[in-house]
Amino acid sequence: MKASKFLHALPFMLCFFLFVDGKEVLSQELNKIVDLRGLWRFTIGDDENWKETNVNTDDWEIIRVPSSWENEGFHGYNGFAWYRKTFKVPPAYKGRSIALLLGRIDDADEVYLNGKLVGYSGSFPPDYSTAYFAWRKYPVQEHMINFDKENVIAVRVYDSELDGGILEGAVGLYEMKNWDIDLTGIWKINFSDKDSFKEKNHNDKDWEDIYVPGYWENQGYKSYDGYAWYRYTFYVPEKLKGKKFVLLAGKIDDFDETFINGKFVGSTGPINNIPYRMDNRKEWQELRTYDIPENVLQFGKENIIAIRVYDGYVNGGIHEGPLAILAQENYTKFWRKHGATGSKNLWEKFWEGFFD
């Protein structure tokens, strides 16, 4: 391990411990759709326009992925660099839960698909934090994918020292089996408290972006205690109509009220009656599981989940997964495998075997 990076890494280890053995996770949870290992276009430097689909990369270098860029001829380079690659996705995978795996990246990254941000790990200067130990897995919403047409992935990477780039591990597009609707990804957040934030038609375009799950302190919002709202837009396929659903809302520090399409679905902790002492509270360790009432989800349409959060002590926010909406039969499978008590927590056991 890089000694100087270890101190930066400590906060993220709590969030990303589940990716320590990326090869084991891959072998048990996902089915490969597109293998993206091989030759990519690459350039050092930084231009945010390089995320767009129409960038001319004819004069970029060609390097192998996964591999450190030092091993591809860029010895001693530290700083920003970009990777790009094109690929196609068969239309047979429409309606599936899909994730993009990018192995382990040193140090921080932002990932774009067809010009749209799908995920990031760590943070860039001036508030630099490394996530070089984390195995990247970013769920991709269906509307971001061009089925049977060309897609463009662009990866922005920052390396502070020693090896840099997409170093090792599985790189490709994968199907997530038995996972009806994944809610991991880029959410909206607002650090204030208004009841109207729960409504489906509330305009959140001016809200900040935040990656969920993850403490908000690790994403630039340091030392904030108080109320905040998260919002996320997701699509529910028509084919799921007629089923009973359960929301897995992850672990939240400290209290929450959760709404879908403006309707209340669950709450944990005294969010409207904040206790005087917060250092002895345990709600931040609880996985939120809420039954979704009938007539709340809108099938064949976009839906909005809004989560009101109160943090009163140290770190805050939706800090750990899983985050998903599962049909009752898949929730039962999930709980049968991962609900028993033991030396490992629920989230660790989930990643070890749910997608067998």
CATH of the domain at 203: 2.60.120.260
Is residue 189 within 8 Å of residue 216, measured between CB atoms?
Answer: yes
125/228 Cα distance (integer angstroms)? 25
Render pLDDT for 222-258 as a digit per residue (tens, 0 to 9).
Answer: 889 999 999 999 999 898 999 999 999 999 999 999 9
Q: Which of 137, 157, 176 is the last residue of a domain?
A: 176
Render pLDDT for 185-195 as a digit per residue (tens, 0 to 9).
Answer: 899 999 999 99
The predicted structure's pLDDT at residue 178: 77
| Range from 15-24, 44-53, 82-91 carrying the lowest mean pLDDT | 15-24
The predicted structure's pLDDT at residue 123: 87
| 278 or 353, which is more confident | 278
Residues 101 and 143 in one domain: yes
Which among 175, 174, 173, 165 has a CA at the least distance from the CA of 65?
165
Q: Which of 137, 154, 176 is the last residue of a domain?
A: 176
| 27 or 287, which is more confident | 287
Supply the pTM of this predicted model.
Answer: 0.73
Residues 189 and 292 in one domain: yes
Residues 157 and 194 in one domain: no
Residues 172 and 186 in one domain: no
**Cα dihedral 355→230→144→167 (10° resolution):** -60
346/338 Cα distance (integer angstroms)? 6
Cis peptide before 237 (omega within 30 of 0): no
What is the identity of the amino acid at 3?
Answer: A
pLDDT band at 9 (very low <50, low <70, confident <90, very high): very low
Is residue 82 within 8 Å of residue 50, measured between CB atoms?
Answer: yes
Q: What is the largest CA-CA distance in the chain?
A: 62
Q: Is the pLDDT of residue 65 over 60?
A: yes
pLDDT band at 129 (very low <50, low <70, confident <90, very high): confident
Residues 140 and 208 in one domain: no
Residues 188 and 163 in one domain: no
The predicted structure's pLDDT at residue 334: 84
The predicted structure's pLDDT at residue 336: 81
Q: Is the pLDDT of residue 155 over 70?
A: yes
Render pLDDT for 250-283 as a digit per residue (tens, 0 to 9).
Answer: 999 999 999 999 999 999 999 999 888 777 788 9
Q: Is the pLDDT of residue 313 over 50?
A: yes
Residues 291 and 226 in one domain: yes
The predicted structure's pLDDT at residue 349: 43
Q: For the sheet containing 79-88, what is the strand order?
A: 61-65, 38-44, 79-88, 150-159, 108-113, 116-121
The predicted structure's pLDDT at residue 281: 84
Residues 54 and 197 in one domain: no
Rg of the chain over all Cα atoms, to the nearest angstrom: 20
Count of domains observed in the chain:
2
**Cα dihedral 118→327→177→39 (10° resolution):** -10
Per-residue CA distances from 137 to 68, 105, 133, 194, 238 (Å)? 19, 11, 13, 33, 26
Top-ranked range on mean pLDDT: pick from 29-33, 150-154, 174-178, 238-242: 150-154
Residues 169 and 187 in one domain: no
Average pLDDT over residues 51-55: 97
Which among 110, 199, 198 has a CA at the least distance from the CA of 158?
110
H-assigned helices in the chain? 3-16, 22-29, 328-338, 346-353
Average pLDDT over residues 327-347: 68
Which among 85, 101, 93 has a CA at the least distance from the CA of 39?
85
What is the identity of the amino acid at 90?
Answer: P
Chain mean position to CA 117: 11
Residues 81 and 187 in one domain: no
The predicted structure's pLDDT at residue 348: 45
* Residue 205 structural domain: 181-353
Average pLDDT over residues 32-48: 98
Is residue 113 within 8 Å of residue 75, measured between CB atoms?
Answer: no
Residues 102 and 190 in one domain: no
Average pLDDT over residues 134-138: 89
The predicted structure's pLDDT at residue 339: 62
Q: Is the pLDDT of residue 27 over 90?
A: no
Q: Which of 161, 176, 191 is the last residue of a domain?
A: 176
Residues 202 and 327 in one domain: yes
| Range from 3-17, 40-54, 303-317 carrying the lowest mean pLDDT | 3-17
The predicted structure's pLDDT at residue 192: 97
